[in-house]
A and B are shown apart, each in its own frame.
Chain A
């Protein structure tokens, strides 16, 4: 999986969808409602460039909702449903990309590296839960069933 493939585009929302790639610095300046629309556009490609300088100038309290697109493959897993994630900038300048459903996170010096770290974490998490979900541990089986709605192994 090439992490640089992580892309996002915004939709015009008019039916004649325009795909417009943009950098994170540009995206963050959009009004909140437009950002939300952009982040939920289905046919999106997300570009997470390392625009740390413009981000830190814009806000020290960055909270940036995104969707990881369906069918993204990484290592031994692929996403079978869009996964809502949140990009935040920590007080020490580290980017943190986290999901709200399974509470997984990735960290990095750029959004790209945080994304790569999150995907590595989801992959490791999938393996751990798959191994744990045995018949004598029903609580883990229930969690594994929920997880499989979003993540499947690459065959």
Chain B
């Protein structure tokens, strides 16, 4: 299980997501690739008495990144590369009408 801040850090540093300015209440990260619909993910602040995100939330964040949950875990654990993720997004974009 990961913490919200860990997820946000990896998405920023490794996958080059950018913070959406002006959204201060929650963390919004965006990725814009040519020919691919923008990926906008909402990293919810965890409650004060817990630090890790639950399974349902984990799967929601994976869906926002347009990958399956195991792949998402690989992204955060750094076993899936940025190039592979970008390639998946581009292939999915070409496959969808």
- Chain A interface (Cβ within 8 Å of chain B)? 88-92, 94, 96, 98, 103-105, 107, 109, 117, 120-121, 124-125, 128-129, 132, 137, 139-140, 142-143
Contacts and interface: CB of A to CB of B under 8 A. Distances in A.
Given A88-B56, A121-B26, A128-B20, 20 more contacts: A91-B54, A91-B55, A92-B52, A96-B56, A96-B60, A103-B63, A103-B64, A105-B57, A105-B60, A107-B57, A109-B47, A124-B42, A125-B40, A128-B23, A128-B30, A139-B34, A139-B38, A139-B93, A140-B32, A143-B38
Interface of B: 20, 23, 25-26, 28, 30, 32, 34-38, 40, 42, 44, 47, 50, 52, 54-57, 60, 63-64, 93
27 contacts: A89-B56, A90-B56, A90-B57, A91-B56, A94-B47, A94-B54, A94-B56, A96-B54, A96-B57, A96-B60, A103-B63, A105-B57, A105-B60, A107-B57, A121-B26, A121-B42, A124-B28, A124-B42, A125-B40, A128-B23, A129-B38, A129-B40, A137-B38, A139-B93, A140-B37, A140-B38, A143-B38
B64 to A, nearest CB: 5
A58 to B, nearest CB: 17
Contact of B35 (A94, A139, A143): A139
A53 B43 CA distance: 27
Nearest to A61: B56
B56 A124 contact: no
